[in-house]
A = this chain, B = another copy of it.
Amino acid sequence: MSPDSDIALDGEGPLHQQIRRAIARPILAGRWPPGRRIPSEHELMQRFGVSRMTVNRALASLANEGLIARKRKAGTVVAIPSAERAVFEIWDISAEIARSGATHSMTLIRREVGPAAPAEADVLRVPADTPILRLVLCHASDGEPIQFEDRLVNIAAAPGILSARLEDIAPGRWLLDHVPWTEAEHAIRAAEANAEIAAHLKIRRGSACLVVERHTWRGDTPITFARLTSPAGAQVLVGRFRPSAG
């Protein structure tokens, strides 16, 4: 069996996107470490039975997003992940903490299952009374509280979340691993800590926090809404850009 036997087309959507996913999946899942060689366009072209233009389109798009690095003659390899991706792509605090070398821990503050109240239905963008899971928790890095997470999950869109062991794995991480998303939206703003958040993050009430709110969808159905609050100094979102060369 070929060493890249884990890549395969899934038959969904345009070919170039299938190829994209086929390559992106093992990278994002961590099965292909940075530096790992990716088959050349010719090889992929034969393996998938498509034209080189189509392979090229897929790989160019991945390169454009910094997932892979390409060099003429040298070939294509999995790019070393920069902070960049973390900001814009999906965003997992436990991975972030692990990367910095610290230990991640988590305290579950609240966990409720039930029909969505009007306000909740509104933010999650589901009909009222949709069954949802509400989670409130606090992440810590080496014991230092670093992020307060308030999350709503559309249970219908994430079957299995109710039986997930959320003491061991961050809910964001669990969802990333188990529920494929097709669209996400971030809103980033500053806000002042309310009493509850201040208590859990061990900061002064009213002190500045960075708030990231994220909606995630699969097609038209909302999967989850998360409001992630970090103390002013604890988190900086960094992104690097080009003048958007296609």
Contacts and interface: CB of A to CB of B under 8 A. Distances in A.
B67 A246 contact: no
Interface stretch (A37-45, A118-126, A149-157, A229-237): A229-237
Contacts of A238: 185-188
Contacts of A180: 243
B241 A183 contact: yes
Within the oligomer, what is the number of copies of this chain? 2
Contacts of A198: none
A173 interface: no
- 6 smallest A-B Cβ distances: which pairs? A61-B246, A208-B208, A190-B210, A190-B190, A188-B237, A190-B232
Interface string A112-154: 0000000000000000000000000000000000000000000
A159 to B, nearest CB: 20
A72 interface: no
Given A20-B245, A241-B184, A189 B207 contact: no
Interface string A168-188: 000000000000111111111
A210 B235 contact: no
A122 B62 CA distance: 32
Contact of A190 (B65, B206, B208, B243): B208
Interface of A: 16-17, 20-21, 24, 57-58, 60-62, 64-65, 67, 87-90, 180-192, 206-211, 230, 232-233, 235-246
Given A65-B244, A191-B232, 19 more contacts: A20-B244, A24-B244, A60-B246, A62-B246, A64-B246, A88-B241, A89-B244, A181-B243, A183-B242, A184-B241, A185-B238, A186-B239, A188-B237, A189-B236, A189-B237, A190-B209, A191-B208, A192-B232, A206-B207
Contacts of A187: 236-238
A24 B182 CA distance: 26
A182 B243 CA distance: 6
6 contacts: A24-B244, A57-B246, A181-B243, A183-B241, A185-B241, A188-B210
